[in-house]
Amino acid sequence: MIPAAFDYARPTTVDEALQALAAGGEDAKVLAGGQSLIPVMRLRLAAPSMVVDLTRVTELRGVREEGGDDGALVIGAMTTHSDVVSDPLIAQHAPLIAQATETVADRQVRHRGTFGGALAHADPAGDLPAVALALDAEFVLAGPGGRRTVPAREFFVDYLTTALAEDELLVEVRVPKLAGQWGMHYEKFNRVAQAWSIVAVAAAVRREDGHIAEARIGLTNMGPTPLRATASEQALAGAVAGADAVAEAGPARRRGNLAQRRPQRQGRLPCASRPGAHPPGGQRSGRSPDVGVSRATRELVHRPGSRRRGVAGAARHRADRPLHARRRPGLGHR
Ligand SMILES: Cc1cc2nc3c(=O)[nH]c(=O)nc-3n(C[C@H](O)[C@H](O)[C@H](O)COP(=O)(O)OP(=O)(O)OC[C@H]3O[C@@H](n4cnc5c(N)ncnc54)[C@H](O)[C@@H]3O)c2cc1C
């Protein structure tokens, strides 16, 4: 399907982009790599009146270091997945990000899709939100009143909803450098290669004298937002580093981990966290074969009162509102 007509702005600076967003009002949408937004526009699930294209805002691209070994990596929102995968700073200080990004879709999508777009989209099946959460990343948002920094724990507010206000842009993400004794791994369970996660686990662990000094674990697609497996983290802290500690911290802590929020996939955590295991009754791949949106995106619906509307939010004042209004979570639309 062809998207509904829209106005188009292609700024070259963050300031110009913010002005264009403000001029577009509440029906304006930011376009990054377009890998999630364009499909939902083509489905007429989103019909923004104005699209603000960030592809020429070069200041939003690239990765740089801040501070010394205890400092941070700063990843520009418009840095593509491909650039993230091949970046030497990320490989050195935050390999978990590169590892998870490598599992995102295929080369074509990774060539256009962006780090910031994937996080702003906040799809619970997306691979990068749980990684950002596990790494205690910070999100730098720019708006008409200046910039503010939001910790990952507060950025993912609800299903496809973030702390971004309608007139704000995600400009960069700060990730603490985790060097030295830290080990990291992203384990993704999907039925088809290059598909969305059914579930996945992002883990970073610091070892000291053969013990686990600190563990950070993010869960993908096990709730409406990415989750931290805090009960498992607590169980691991102080334990002798080894398979026994991991075995104890998995199943026994499952209930505690998922009790934070109403889970979508309660009961599947132990399987996902065990390499090579299969989730019981896992029927959905989460990927639409012909459209680059996850099932979560296809089911999306605007929730009144949410701070940042998901990609479909801009549809609500448009001519196709009745179509959008028919979308309900849990109902297919094809
Ligand atoms: C076939 C296919 C398979 C895929 N498989 C996976 C997968 O396995 N795992 C995975 O994690 N992802 C997957 N994706 C999604 C991919 O990671 C997208 O790149 C990502 O979801 C959106 O990034 P984007 O840059 O294309 O953003 P866009 O589609 O341009 O934007 C997405 C949303 O974020 C908003 N936005 C974007 N940038 C900003 C910003 N700087 N500030 C404020 N708001 C912003 C937009 O307004 C829009 O609402 C897949 C996509 C396709 C097409």
Q: Is the pLDDT of residue 68 over 70?
A: yes
> In this predicted structure, what is the pLDDT of residue 183?
94
What local confidence, expressed as pLDDT, does residue 274 receive? 34
Task: Give the position, in ligand 1's atom list, of the atom nearest the Cα of 128.
Answer: 11
Q: What is the pTM of this model?
A: 0.84
Residue with more model confidence, 323 or 50: 50
Q: Give me the pLDDT at residue 174, please.
A: 98
- Centre of ligand 1 to C-alpha 256, Å, is 31
Residue nearest to atom 23 of ligand 1 (CA): 117
Query: pLDDT value at position 299?
Result: 57
List Cα–Cα distances, 243 to 24, 93, 98, 117, 212, in angstroms: 54, 25, 25, 36, 12
From 14, 18, 21, 30, give the residue whose CB has the most ligand 1 atoms within 8 Å, as the site to mutate.
30
Phi (first) and psi of residue 303, to 5 degrees? -105, 115
pLDDT band at residue 253 using 50, 70 and 90 as cut-offs: low
Give the residue among 94, 320, 130, 318 at the shortest CA–CA distance from 220: 130
Ligand 1 probe mutation, 36, 40, 52, 80, most atoms within 8 A of CB: 36
Q: What is the pLDDT of residue 317?
A: 32
3-state secondary structure of 233: helix
Q: Determine the Cα–Cα distance for residues 37 and 311; give it in Å rounded to an integer.
A: 6
**Nearest CA, atom 12, ligand 1:** 126
Alpha carbons 188 and 80: distance in angstroms, whole number: 20
182-272 has CATH 3.40.50.300 classification: no
* Tens-place pLDDT, residues 123-176: 999 999 999 999 999 999 999 999 999 999 999 999 999 999 999 999 999 999
Alpha carbons 45 and 42: distance in angstroms, whole number: 8
pLDDT at res. 296: 60
Residue ranges of domains in the chain:
182-272
Q: In the structure, what pLDDT confidence band is assigned to residue 69 with cuts at 50, 70 and 90? A: confident
Q: What is the pLDDT of residues 267-325, one digit of tens each?
A: 333 333 333 333 333 333 333 333 446 766 665 533 333 344 455 443 333 333 333 33
CA of 92 to the centre of ligand 1 (A): 25
pLDDT above 60 (res 226): yes
According to DSSP, residue 314 is labeled G
Residues 6+ apart with CB under 8 A from 135: 94, 96, 97, 152, 175, 176, 178, 202, 204, 216, 218
Ligand 1 centroid to residue 294 C-alpha, Å: 10
Ligand 1 atom with least separation from CA of 126: 11
In 161-249, which ranges are E strands? 161-162, 169-176, 182-189, 199-208, 211-220, 227-228
